[in-house]
Amino acid sequence: MSIATDARSAIAARAAVSGSRLTVDGIGKSFQGPGGSAVEAIGTVSLDVAPGEFLAIVGPSGCGKSTLLQVIAGLMLPSTGRVRLGERDVTGEPAHMVYLFQQYSKSLLPWMTVANNVMFAFRHRMKLSQAASLARCRDYLAMVGLADVAAHYPWQLSGGMQQRVAIARALAAEPQVLLMDEPFSSVDALTRLDLHSLILDLWTQKRFTAVLVTHDVDEAIFLADRVAVLTQRPATISEVIETRLPRPRHSIETRESPAFLALRHRLLDYLLTRGGGRSHARSA
């Protein structure tokens, strides 16, 4: 009970500081399938994300998680419903949201140095002098522990370092909302734990709203305030669980805590047996 209160007050404290509420209001998305029939990727999804909250969305692979995140990011228009950031409808790419892509090897531009990749994120929206841009770039690279690789090309770095550069670039744009599309899935297991701690540190420092899409239940519980569970395609939200784990979270202890394990049990049981509609899909 006291933990829950702590978590709530932490969220409330954060809410007082940062920007606008993200509202996903009855989003649906259909694609033109082969033969002209419409394929429904997202059923109807509604979400309400408080400013400064960390929300994780988990679901089976191929359930339309990435599609949902792209619609929220304004990279794709929904077929029905709307996304709102504060009082404004999201119809294109809004200035205060940044999408962090799954594949660092494709999202970092290989013909630019690390520094130019980071500056690419903000030099078109913020009119800064070259010196100010470089200083800003150095600050954000230092934040992810990579101050010394500014002059390198991304492909000269390891996978984990490349994803750190991608994180620095995303945050250098100073987003109110950071949308993360399985950003830790293509690095090795130890690097992943490292990046989890890094993203939590940066989230605590910068107080942005975080929405993470993942198929990794442990990752979702460790990072998030709330975990939304998606069903099989067409995706709908079947359950939203508050993690209520104390912060700051610790790489090892938090993952071994009874509360963590209980949540893990509950979510895995949900995904594997009731399967977010999997058995329903099979019987149909």
| Least distance in angstroms from the C-beta of 107 to other proteins | 5
Q: Is the peptide bond before 234 cis (omega within 30 degrees of 0)?
A: yes
Draw the binding track, 15-54, toward other proteins (x: CB under 8 A; -: no contact): ----------------------------------------
Which one, of 92, 49, 97, lies nearest residue 74 by Cα? 92
- Using the rule CB under 8 A, give the single segment among 19-27, 30-38, 121-129, 133-141 that binds other proteins: 121-129
CA distance 119 to 104: 16
CB of 208 to other proteins, least distance (A): 14
Nearest distance in Å: CB 108, other proteins: 8
Among the listed residues 95, 142, 262, 272, the single contact to other proteins using CB under 8 A: 95
Pick out residues in 137-196 that bind other proteins (CB under 8 A).
Answer: 153-156, 158-159, 173
224-253 residues near other proteins, rule: CB under 8 A: none
Residue 55-84 contact track with other proteins, rule CB under 8 A, x = bound = ------------------x-x---------
**Among residues 113 and 204, whose Cβ is nearest to other proteins?**
113
Q: Does 127 bind other proteins (CB under 8 A)?
A: no
Q: Phi and psi at residue 239, in whole multiples of 5°?
A: -160, 145
- Residue 206 binding other proteins, by CB under 8 A: no
Answer whether 49's CB lies under 8 Å from 55's CB. Answer: yes
**Alpha-helix runs per DSSP H in the chain:** 2-17, 65-73, 104-107, 114-120, 130-143, 159-172, 189-206, 217-223, 253-256, 258-269, 278-283
| Minimum CB–partner distance for residue 111 and other proteins (Å) | 4
Q: How far apart are CA 284 and CA 271, in angstroms?
A: 18
Alpha-carbon distances of 150 from 138, 169, 187, 225, 248, rounded to whole Å: 8, 12, 21, 34, 30
- Select from 28, 64, 114, 122 the one that contacts other proteins (CB under 8 A): 122
For residues 257 and 86, the answer to whether their CB atoms sit within 8 Å is no
Question: In this chain, which of 23, 30, 44, 103 binds other proteins, going by CB under 8 A?
Answer: 103
Q: How far apart are CA 49 and CA 84, in angstroms?
A: 10
Cα–Cα distance, 67 to 69 (Å, whole number): 5
DSSP 239: E
Q: Which part of the chain contacts other proteins (CB under 8 A), choosing from 24-32, 103-111, 129-137, 196-204?
A: 103-111
Contact (Cβ atoms closer than 8 angstroms) between residue 71 and residue 27: yes
Structural contact between residues 170 and 203, judged by C-beta atoms closer than 8 angstroms = no
Asked whether position 101 contacts other proteins by CB under 8 A, the answer is yes
Task: Return the residue of 97, 168, 263, 267 that touches other proteins, per CB under 8 A.
Answer: 97
Looking at 26, 33, 62, 110, which residue binds other proteins (CB under 8 A)? 110
- Residues in contact with other proteins by the rule CB under 8 A: 73, 75, 93, 95, 97-99, 101, 103, 105-107, 109-111, 120-122, 124-125, 153-156, 158-159, 173
